[in-house]
Amino acid sequence: MSGRGPSNYMHIGHLVIFEFVKWLQDELDAEVYIPLSDDEKYVFGKVKSLKQAYVYAIDNALDLIALGFKKGKTFFFVSTRLSEIYELSVTLSRYLTFNTVRATFGLEGEGVNSGVVFYAAVQAAHILLPTAKKGLLVLVPIAMDQDPYMRLTRDIALKAGFRKPAAIYSKYISGLTREPMSASKPETSVFLIDNEEEVRKKIWSAFTGGRPTIEEQRKLGGNPDICVVYEWLKVFVFKDLKNMNEHAYKCRSGELLCGECKRMLADALIKRLAKHKARKRQALRVIDHFFLHEVEIPSEIIKILE
Amino acid sequence: MSGRGPSNYMHIGHLVIFEFVKWLQDELDAEVYIPLSDDEKYVFGKVKSLKQAYVYAIDNALDLIALGFKKGKTFFFVSTRLSEIYELSVTLSRYLTFNTVRATFGLEGEGVNSGVVFYAAVQAAHILLPTAKKGLLVLVPIAMDQDPYMRLTRDIALKAGFRKPAAIYSKYISGLTREPMSASKPETSVFLIDNEEEVRKKIWSAFTGGRPTIEEQRKLGGNPDICVVYEWLKVFVFKDLKNMNEHAYKCRSGELLCGECKRMLADALIKRLAKHKARKRQALRVIDHFFLHEVEIPSEIIKILE
């Protein structure tokens, strides 16, 4: 299982971990659970209302279904809409003191709201739902920053008599500006709803390992080790190591100019996004089969997909 | 609305506040919401599991439906089974800090579990559900010990943009031993599932205002002011003030012996419980119409009602 906090539209970096999850599903014929934590984003103040988070949750779910997860083996749910989640959270909350939550997350003082305190139990419930429901062992591909939750959950699982879940951590991909990708800084990543022009513009402004002038680039070569465009090409475009190494060699030798790499990346991403959008439209027709509760499609989503 | 914490079978004292709620429904043609807080009883450690609380919740609901609440105007729910409750609790939790919860309830230190902290928001959600769902104004007939929750809820309501709920507090009825009635001390009250023999035995051991001997009673009279049997007769048997005053006069004058009052009370309660049990059996057939979610009847309940 792997979750998504629906506080915004998704960018291309978000897909990477779920592509890995899909790969695991294909390899292991595993069931996949994908909680959409509207409650998390709301109690931490990342969205104004649960309603707003719900719109993102459905949008994000469509993006993920578009990756090709198996129907009947993949189960999405919006955290506040599945009463089993609250029930399991309550069960687990007895094994989780305020003190532990505060120490684990370094919450500031006691002005923290009660939803934040309880959310630690809710996230544990997300992770342990497949175990509680069907006795399944759980593997959680997860971003490194979610590690405190994993540790808490493993402790709680033991106390509550469940098998401990396992985690597998993903590396972050650099943002285009070399800061971390962030939904609140659109220039750091390519969003799945960006149009062609936006993609080109963002890639064009990306941080590279290139020289200030063409002459210097030809003479001294570029530095792919610090180049975000090269990093993105590795993640999103190149199929194998040979490909990657050849490209890096050409860069270092001065054969490639940054513009060429940027065009290559932008073209590939634009193609990918177009394909993604088509698949997302198809996902709209099957979304009901992927959810553990009833789903209404917000009108905003229909508009985006027109 | 008025709630019930399902940590045990109900005793006759529990019914009093709900008889008042039913009277309000009849007088005002009002909708009545009755949350059954399985989560509360579990996080505070009053039941071993949510499953155990669920059994009591259904049993208790049948007792309340048996009072004659109107179908289509009375809405029961088990707190962990109605996803709207968790959703509303999350919404409200942002207006409720850990600090406030701790100060209000005098929680001991920070070893308190995260479920207890969040439960303050959940109880607020129980109270505000009719307002959030239908814009209704809420009146809460409630036992005095629930006052801190009411005050919190009124504060939260204001911050969250809801109309404040109003409360009306009930007096406690003395337990048979003159301690407060308590489910954990069976001798303090008459349970709705007690059989005839148990009722007679409990009433026979009740605290009275009588004299040590018949001679003294005849000569000096009894003291109804401190007599639990007299208090119970007032609540459960006498129809009007005249009745009450005449009875008190006869007691004081030495005309009545405690045994007579006890027999009178026991007979009335036994009759009442038999009638109640019959109505509870009927309630079993209509319970679905009274719940906001699906209900399964635990086998324990069927057994009790056979």
**pLDDT tens, B33-61?**
999 999 999 999 999 999 999 999 999 99
Cβ density class A118-157: b for 16+ within 10 Å, e for less? bbbbbbbbbbbbbbbeeebebbbbbeeebeebbebbbbbb
H helical segments located in chain A: 12-28, 38-43, 50-65, 83-93, 98-105, 114-134, 147-160, 196-204, 214-220, 228-232, 241-252, 258-286, 299-304
Domain membership of residue A200 (yes or no) is yes
Structure tokens at B278: 């019959």
- At B232 the three-state DSSP class reads helix
Nearest residue in A to B111, CA atom: A97
Residues of A in contact with B87 (CB under 8 A): 50, 80-81
- Closest CB from A45, A109, A120 relative to B114: A120
- Tokens 């060429």 belong to A260
Distance separating alpha carbons of residues B101 and A97, to the nearest angstrom: 14
B113 contacts in A (CB within 8 Å)? 93-98
Average model confidence (pLDDT) across chain A: 94
Are B112 and A118 in contact (CB < 8 Å)?
no
Output the pLDDT for position B273.
96
Residue B186's identity, in one-letter code, is P
B118 and A113 within 8 Å at the Cβ level: the answer is no
By C-alpha distance, the chain B residue nearest A43 is: B94
What average pLDDT does this structure show over B52-79?
98
By the 10 Å C-beta count (0-12 exposed, 13-18 middle, 19+ buried), A219 is classed as exposed
Burial degree of A250 (CB within 10 A; 0-12, 13-18, 19+):
middle
Chain A 262-301, CB below 8 Å of chain B: which residues? 293
Strand spans (E) along chain B? 32-36, 74-78, 139-143, 166-170
Pair (A154, A234) in one structural domain = no
Q: What is the per-residue pLDDT for A110?
A: 64
Q: What is the pLDDT of residue B269?
A: 97
- Whole-angstrom Cα distance, residue B81 to residue B37? 10
Å from B80 to nearest chain A CA? 5
Report strand pairing: B139-143 vs A166-170. unpaired
Judge whether B63 lies within some domain.
yes
**Chain B hits for A95, Cβ within 8 Å:** 113
Q: Are A165 and A150 in contact (CB under 8 A)?
A: yes
Q: Closest chain A residue to B83 measured between Cα atoms?
A: A83
User: How confident is the model over B270-274, as a mean pLDDT?
Assistant: 96
In a domain, B150, yes or no: yes
Q: Tell me what ipTM this predicted complex has.
A: 0.87
Q: How many CB pairs under 8 A join A and B?
A: 125
Domain for residue B299, yes or no? Answer: no
Residues in chain A closer than 8 A to B111 (CB atoms): 97-99
The partner residue sitting opposite A101, judged by closest CB among B90, B91, B114, is B114
A268: CATH: 1.10.240.10
Res B111: pLDDT: 77
For chain B, the domain total comes to 1
Q: Are residues A293 and A246 in the same domain?
A: no
A87 in contact with chain B, both atoms CB, cutoff 8 A: yes
Output A158 or B104, whichever has higher pLDDT.
A158
Instruction: Give the burial string for B223-247 (b: 16+ CB within 10 Å, else e).
Output: ebeebbbbbbbbebbbeeeeebeeb
pLDDT in tens, A66-87: 999 999 999 999 999 999 999 9
**C-alpha angle B160-B166-B169 in degrees, rounded to nearest 5:** 135
One domain, residues A147 and A57: yes
- Mean predicted confidence (pLDDT) in A83-100: 95
- The reply to whether B303 falls in a domain is no
Return the closest-CA partner of residue B288 out of B275, B279, B297: B297
Q: What is the pLDDT of residues B119-151, one digit of tens each?
A: 999 999 999 999 999 999 999 999 888 888 899
Beta-ladder partners of B97:
A113
The answer to whether position A29 is within a domain reads yes
A83 and A101 in a single domain? The answer is yes
pLDDT at residue A109, as a whole number: 65
Beta bridge partners of B35: B77
Q: Which of residues 17-46 of A touch B (CB under 8 A)?
A: 39, 42-43, 45
**Whether residues A61 and A39 fall in one domain:** yes
| Out of A45, A80, A109, closest to residue B83 by CB | A80
Poorest-confidence range of A184-188, A191-195, A231-235, A262-266? Answer: A184-188
Cβ of B117 and A118 within 8 Å? yes
Considering the domain architecture, whether residues A199 and A168 belong to the same structural domain is answered as no
Distance, in Å, from the CA atom of A273 to the CA atom of A289, rounded to the nearest integer, reads 24
Question: Which of B81, B117, B121 has the CB atom closest to A98's CB atom?
Answer: B117
C-beta atoms of B114 and A102 within 8 A: no
Summarised one tens digit per residue, pLDDT across range B222-263 is 999 999 999 999 999 998 999 999 999 999 999 999 999 999
B149-206, pLDDT tens digit by residue?
899 999 999 999 999 999 999 888 999 999 999 888 999 999 999 999 999 999 999 9
Q: Cα-flanking dihedrals φ and ψ of residue A77, to 5°? A: -160, 145
pLDDT tens column, A227-269:
999 999 999 999 999 999 999 999 999 999 999 999 999 999 9
Min Cα separation B224/chain A (Å)? 46
Give the pLDDT score at A24.
Answer: 97
Task: Specify which residues B4 forms β-bridges with.
Answer: B36
Would you call B90 and A114 a contact, using CB atoms and an 8 Å cutoff?
A: no
Helix (H) or strand (E) holding B218: helix B214-220
**Alpha helices (H) in A161-240, listed in sequence order:** 196-204, 214-220, 228-232
- Give me the pLDDT at residue B103, please: 85
Give every CB contact of residue B113 below 8 A, 6+ residues apart in sequence: A93, A94, A95, A96, A97, A98, B43
How far is Cα A143 from Cα A170, in angstroms, rounded to an integer?
5
Answer yes or no: do B91 and A118 touch at CB < 8 A: no
CA distance A228 to A12: 14
Query: Is B49 part of the contact surface with chain A (CB cutoff 8 Å)?
Result: yes
CA–CA dist A83, B292 (Å, integer): 13
Where are the alpha helices (H) located in B66-195, listed in sequence order?
83-93, 98-105, 114-134, 147-160
Q: Calculate ∠ Cα A81-A84-A90, nearest 5°.
A: 110
Name the helix (H) or strand (E) containing B179. none
Are A265 and A294 contained in the same domain?
Answer: no
Q: What is the CATH number of the domain that holds B36?
A: 3.40.50.620
Model confidence at B110, pLDDT cuts 50, 70, 90, reads low
Q: What number is the average pLDDT over the span A142-157?
A: 90
Which of B87, B114, B119, B294 to mutate to probe the A interface, most A CBs <10 Å? B114
Of all residues in chain A, the one with the smallest CA distance to B97 is A113
Contacts of A48 (CB under 8 A, 6+ apart): none
Residue B95: partners with Cβ closer than 8 Å, 6 or more residues away: A113, B155, B156, B159, B160
Query: What is the enclosing helix (H) or strand (E) of A168?
Result: strand A166-170
Task: Decide if pLDDT at A102 tops 90.
Answer: no
Instruction: Check CB contact of B95 with chain A, cutoff 8 Å.
Output: yes
Is the Cβ–Cβ distance between B18 and B64 less than 8 Å? yes
Average model confidence (pLDDT) across chain B: 94
Report the alpha-carbon distance of residue B26 to residue B226 in Å, rounded.
Answer: 34
| Pair (A139, A215) in one structural domain | no
Task: Classify burial at A59, counting beta carbons within 10 Å of its beta carbon; exposed 0-12, middle 13-18, buried 19 or more.
Answer: buried
> How high is the pLDDT of residue A183?
82
Distance CA B104, CA B81 (A): 27
- C-beta atoms of A110 and B97 within 8 A: yes
Q: Does B101 touch chain A (CB under 8 A)?
A: yes
Is B35 among the domain residues? yes
User: Under DSSP, is residue B158 helix (H, G, I), strand (E, B) or coil?
Assistant: helix
Q: Do B94 and A121 count as a contact with CB atoms less than 8 A apart?
A: no
For residues A167 and A102, membership in a common domain is answered with yes
Percent pLDDT > 90 in chain A is: 88
Domain that holds residue A68: 12-173+284-304
pLDDT in tens, A109-121: 667 899 999 999 9
In a domain, A119, yes or no: yes
Please choose, from the candidates A199, A196, A192, A197, the residue with its C-alpha nearest in 3D space to the C-alpha of residue A280: A192
Cβ distance B56 to B45 under 8 Å?
no
